[in-house]
A and B are shown apart, each in its own frame.
Chain A
């Protein structure tokens, strides 16, 4: 990477350039990036707790989860990079590099090109907010990877099969914390309900399929978000019941105005700050190694 003019690096082309032969790749690349971005951004958010956890064991637990998520992101970015390098006409953006790598995708895309959902970029807040964010996301990621294990895309299926064991643990760990806090002291319950008020509006987006997801579903490549939502609703209701949290918002989906736009690159202002921290070193010293 030699240019300092970031605009030159991204030629954002909203028009699909692929012929029908490239059509699955046209959508497969942004879909893979969407999956990777979710894991990377949440992994990064969790890593911000490193050294700041309320208790040693939980500091380790959360940073372990962060490592799991970043590991998933790496596999997915590597796959996306391979697809981009093999199909230069199918991509919607280009980079000023010989060959795109996982690092290019993680560190040299800007805000509008990230496809993570809004939930994962929300701030850590206190322990209750971090754990609730994890639970709401893991309850979505588990059935998602479960479905992707049967994807007709062998690479995605293999990544999902490996990742689902990690996500099973994330779901158990976070679910138990929700119950502990919800059914705990007055303070823990209060903090959890405040976290709920902060995060709930971002959960709707998880189940709205992007254009890519819809067309890939026809090929059996992507996961069906309707099935994912069914699992999610059941799991959330079950845990919230044990945590003495209100169920009315789950049952009455129309009561909430859900925020969305992350999958299309329209993010909350938080992502800008995340990327500034995460990408600074690579952008300041491109290609540096240590």
Chain B
């Protein structure tokens, strides 16, 4: 198996990193790796060199499903003018103001 073939047959992985002060993992990029263990190590080597993060998630790109940007008007515009869905139309009692 030539090196070229080997590289093409390694799956692509999406990488998410949580920073030290963060609460959620953010997408930082993608890389090739043969398996999950290698993907995490590669992500550590490539995406945490400058203390960008303290936690790594990797997912094979083929398992990521994304919405179609062409569908955006249909999916998201209708919510723009339905303000009654926001929880802001009642007065909070004083006792609850500092939850």
Q: Which residues of A contact B (CB under 8 A)?
A: 54-58, 60-61, 64, 169, 172-173, 176, 180, 185, 187
* B81 proximal to A (CB < 8 A): no
Q: Which of B19-27, B39-47, B88-96 contacts A (4 or more CB under 8 A)?
A: B39-47
Selected contact of B7 from candidates A55, A173, A185, A187, CB within 8 Å: A55
Q: Contact: B34 with A60, CB < 8 Å?
A: no
How far does the alpha carbon of A172 sit from the alpha carbon of B44 in the complex, in Å? Answer: 13
Q: Contact: B1 with A57, CB < 8 Å?
A: no
Closest 7 CB pairs of A and B: A57-B42, A61-B45, A60-B45, A57-B31, A64-B45, A60-B46, A57-B46
* B37 proximal to A (CB < 8 A): yes
Q: Nearest Cβ distance between residue A52 and chain B, in whole angstroms?
A: 12
Q: Nearest Cβ distance between residue B33 and chain A, in whole angstroms?
A: 7
What residue of chain A has the Cβ atom nearest to residue B10's Cβ?
Answer: A55
Q: Contact: A54 with B3, CB < 8 Å?
A: yes
* B28 proximal to A (CB < 8 A): no
29 contacts between A and B (CB under 8 A): A54-B3, A55-B10, A55-B32, A56-B31, A56-B46, A57-B31, A57-B32, A57-B33, A57-B42, A57-B45, A57-B46, A58-B42, A60-B45, A60-B46, A60-B49, A61-B41, A61-B42, A61-B45, A64-B45, A64-B49, A169-B44, A172-B41, A173-B41, A176-B37, A176-B38, A176-B41, A180-B34, A180-B38, A185-B1
| Residues on B with beta carbons closer than 8 Å to the beta carbon of A60 | 45-46, 49
Q: Nearest Cβ distance between residue A53 and chain B, in whole angstroms?
A: 11
| Residues on A with beta carbons closer than 8 Å to the beta carbon of B1 | 185, 187
How far does the alpha carbon of A55 sit from the alpha carbon of B46 in the complex, in Å? Answer: 12
How far does the alpha carbon of A60 sit from the alpha carbon of B46 in the complex, in Å? Answer: 7
How far does the alpha carbon of A187 sit from the alpha carbon of B2 in the complex, in Å? Answer: 10
Q: Which residues of B contact A (CB under 8 A)?
A: 1, 3, 7, 10, 31-34, 37-38, 41-42, 44-46, 49
| Residues on B with beta carbons closer than 8 Å to the beta carbon of A54 | 3
What residue of chain B has the Cβ atom nearest to residue A57's Cβ?
Answer: B42
How far does the alpha carbon of A77 sit from the alpha carbon of B55 in the complex, in Å? Answer: 33
How far does the alpha carbon of A61 sit from the alpha carbon of B1 in the complex, in Å? Answer: 23
| Residues on B with beta carbons closer than 8 Å to the beta carbon of A57 | 31-33, 42, 45-46
How far does the alpha carbon of A176 sit from the alpha carbon of B42 in the complex, in Å? Answer: 12
Q: Nearest Cβ distance between residue A173 and chain B, in whole angstroms?
A: 6
| Residues on B with beta carbons closer than 8 Å to the beta carbon of A55 | 7, 10, 32
| Residues on B with beta carbons closer than 8 Å to the beta carbon of A169 | 44
How far does the alpha carbon of A57 sit from the alpha carbon of B41 in the complex, in Å? Answer: 9
Q: Nearest Cβ distance between residue B47 and chain A, in whole angstroms?
A: 10
What residue of chain B has the Cβ atom nearest to residue A127's Cβ?
Answer: B3
| Residues on B with beta carbons closer than 8 Å to the beta carbon of A58 | 42
Among A54, A57, A58, A172, residue most surrounded by chain B Cβ atoms (within 10 Å): A57
Q: A54-B3, A57-B46 are in contact. List 8 more A-B contacts (CB 8 A).
A: A55-B32, A57-B42, A58-B42, A60-B46, A61-B41, A64-B49, A176-B37, A180-B38
Q: Nearest Cβ distance between residue B37 and chain A, in whole angstroms?
A: 6
What residue of chain B has the Cβ atom nearest to residue A67's Cβ?
Answer: B49
| Residues on B with beta carbons closer than 8 Å to the beta carbon of A61 | 41-42, 45
Q: Nearest Cβ distance between residue A36 and chain B, in whole angstroms?
A: 24
Q: Nearest Cβ distance between residue A149 and chain B, in whole angstroms?
A: 23
How far does the alpha carbon of A55 sit from the alpha carbon of B41 in the complex, in Å? Answer: 14
How far does the alpha carbon of A61 sit from the alpha carbon of B38 in the complex, in Å? Answer: 11
What residue of chain A has the Cβ atom nearest to residue B39's Cβ?
Answer: A57
How far does the alpha carbon of A64 sit from the alpha carbon of B7 in the complex, in Å? Answer: 21
How far does the alpha carbon of A33 sit from the alpha carbon of B14 in the complex, in Å? Answer: 43
